[in-house]
Amino acid sequence: MSVGFQAVQWNRRKIIYDTILIAGVVLFVGTFMTGGALRNPPADYAAWIGLRIKALGTCAFTMLTIILVIGPLTRLSPRFLPLLYNRRHFGVLTFFVALAHAYSVVDWFGVQGAMSDLVTEMTNNPKFAQFIGFPIKALGLTGLSILFLLAATSHDFWLAFLTPRVWKALHMLLYVAYGVLVMHVALGVMQEDQRIHIPLLLGGSFALVTGLHLAAAWRERDAAHASRDNWIVVGAPESIRDKRARIVVAPDGERIAVFRDGDQIGALTNLCAHQNGPLGEGCIINGLVTCPWHGYEYRLADGCAPPPFTEKLATYQVRLRDGVIEVDPVALAPGTPASIRIA
Amino acid sequence: MTRGHRRVHRLLWPLLAVVVALGFTMALVKRPPPEQPADSAPKTRVDALTPEPTK
């Protein structure tokens, strides 16, 4: 690790990002409610709450859709990486917007004096066996519970405590939450509101998430196939920015970061030994490959952290053939020297 | 994301996507039709000419 290690902290960029996020939510909900009130003025307080339920629910679902497209977008273009680094804040805010939506539902029943109906609907409902008419609030509560679990464990403390492997597996539940919430909308407001725009927007969002995942997977599959003698073609040395890396994908899906430091080329696993951070998105500082997440450092030559630290990364053999850098996708033992000079 | 996560991801999300796509399609198909305006709809010429059945 780095001598100057610091946990990820608030910085100006994160504050700007969060300010934009919160402003976006306020603007979305405000515009939705103003537009709704102008088009169909609410008759009473309960109708206002109904409008608020729709505004917050739409906002939370839109945010969840954006969160799920960030991953494939960054795999398609590195321009979206700043969104990826701040995705956890986006997720936590999404949970709070969803919580406000759920609170509004409870508020609506409270204002109507029908709280017992809500309890009955959740606990003693004969429609659990039906498809159309299935209690959508149970679906919403399931999605909200998953979002809570993910938001509560989003801090780096939990990443270290649960270990990166368990933490990542847990956070894959977001896909389950999205599926449950698509059905929450499809069996809820889409059945009540006959206008065409609801299925169009819901189906469009779902198709966008699915389509981008497919496109990213297809692109990586193509890149993995660009190989000679089972070695992966990376490109000309100049195609790798100095002190930066290009990430290539091995046929088994493993990501390999190919760095260039002047005339030295070396390939390391893309997973940092600390918390599985994306090493290839970092850069070389003071001659050491530095992870963008927490500043852990490794020598390009052999993937070892400088003394007194002991972390070691798997390295990969590289070669220059016909002016093109190629990588052997078979990982070497962590700490094995494998970089080359191309001068 | 480790190799194991990627494998789970590749198995999980297509499965989930198919299930949700089926659910969404079923919800769309079983969606109740838009409500017709009450009795104000003009009758067709055939309807107008056909006498109401006696009860």
Distance CA A281, CA A270 (A): 9
Q: Does a structural domain hold residue A35? A: yes
Q: Does a structural domain hold residue A3? A: no
Residues A195 and A241 in one domain: no
Q: Does a structural domain hold residue A217? A: yes
Residues A150 and A29 in one domain: yes
Q: How far is CA A260 from CA A235, A238, A300, A337, A342, in A?
A: 12, 9, 9, 15, 10
Residues A90 and A172 in one domain: yes
Distance CA A208, CA A75 (A): 15
> Where does a domain end: A174, A189, A222?
A222
User: At residue A274, does pLDDT exceed 90?
Assistant: no
pLDDT-based confidence at A150, cuts 50/70/90?
Answer: very high
Q: How far is CA A222 from CA A225, A248, B12, in A?
A: 5, 11, 22
Distance CA A51, CA A59 (A): 12
CATH of the domain at A281: 2.102.10.10
Q: Does a structural domain hold residue A88? A: yes
Question: In the numeric block, which tokens belong to residue A13?
Answer: 């960029």
Confidence at residue B39, expressed as pLDDT on a 0 to 100 scale: 54
Are A70 and A84 a contacting pair, CB within 8 Å?
yes
Q: Does a structural domain hold residue A4? A: no
Q: Cβ of B21 under 8 Å from any chain A Cβ? A: yes
**A172, A185, A205: best to mutate for the B interface, most B CBs within 10 A:** A172
Residues A45 and A118 in one domain: yes
Residues A39 and A180 in one domain: yes
> Where does a domain end: A177, A197, A222?
A222
Classify strands A264-269 and A227-228 as parallel, antiparallel or unpaired: unpaired
Interface touch A183/B20, C-beta < 8 Å: yes
Interface touch B27/A217, C-beta < 8 Å: no
Confidence at residue A119, expressed as pLDDT on a 0 to 100 scale: 86
Interface touch A194/B35, C-beta < 8 Å: yes
**Residue % of chain A over a pLDDT of 70:** 95
Distance CA A260, CA A237 (A): 8
User: At residue B51, does pLDDT exceed 60?
Assistant: no
Mean pLDDT (chain B, rounded): 71
Interface touch B21/A172, C-beta < 8 Å: no
Q: Does a structural domain hold residue A6? A: no
Are B27 and A190 a contacting pair, CB within 8 Å?
yes
Q: Which residues pair with A267 in a beta bridge?
A: A258, A316
Grouping H, G, I as helix, E, B as strand and the rest as coil, residue A269 is strand
Q: Cβ of B11 under 8 Å from any chain A Cβ? A: no
Confidence at residue A167, expressed as pLDDT on a 0 to 100 scale: 87
Residues A96 and A186 in one domain: yes
Residues A198 and A55 in one domain: yes
Q: Which domain holds residue A19?
A: 12-222
Residues A16 and A148 in one domain: yes
Searching chain A, which residue's CA lies closest to the CA of residue B16? A179
Residues A331 and A265 in one domain: yes
> Where does a domain end: A205, A222, A239?
A222
Residues A137 and A238 in one domain: no
Q: Does a structural domain hold residue A241? A: yes
Residue B41 to chain A, least CA–CA distance (Å):
19
**Helices (H), ranges, A113-257:** 115-123, 136-152, 156-162, 164-171, 173-186, 189-192, 197-225
**Structural domains of chain A, count:** 2
Task: Taking each helix axis as running N to C, give the angle between helix A164-171 and helix A173-186, from 0 to 180 degrees, rounded to the nearest 10.
Answer: 10
Q: Does a structural domain hold residue A255? A: yes
Residue B40 to chain A, least CA–CA distance (Å):
20
User: At residue B55, does pLDDT exceed 50?
Assistant: no
**What confidence tens digit (pLDDT) does each residue in A239-263 have?**
999 999 988 888 777 889 999 999 9
Q: How far is CA A235 from CA A2, A193, A268, A271, in A?
A: 31, 54, 16, 22
Whose tokens are 């959508």? That residue is A136
Confidence at residue A34, expressed as pLDDT on a 0 to 100 scale: 97
Find the mean pLDDT for residues B2-24: 82
From chain B, pick out residues whose CB is under 8 angstroms from the CB of A191.
Answer: 27, 31-32
**What confidence tens digit (pLDDT) does each residue in A11-39 have?**
777 888 899 999 999 999 999 999 999 99
From chain A, pick out residues whose CB is under 8 angstroms from the CB of B8.
Answer: 169, 172
Residues A208 and A285 in one domain: no
Residues A152 and A212 in one domain: yes
- Per the model's pLDDT, the better-predicted residue between B5 and A320 turns out to be A320
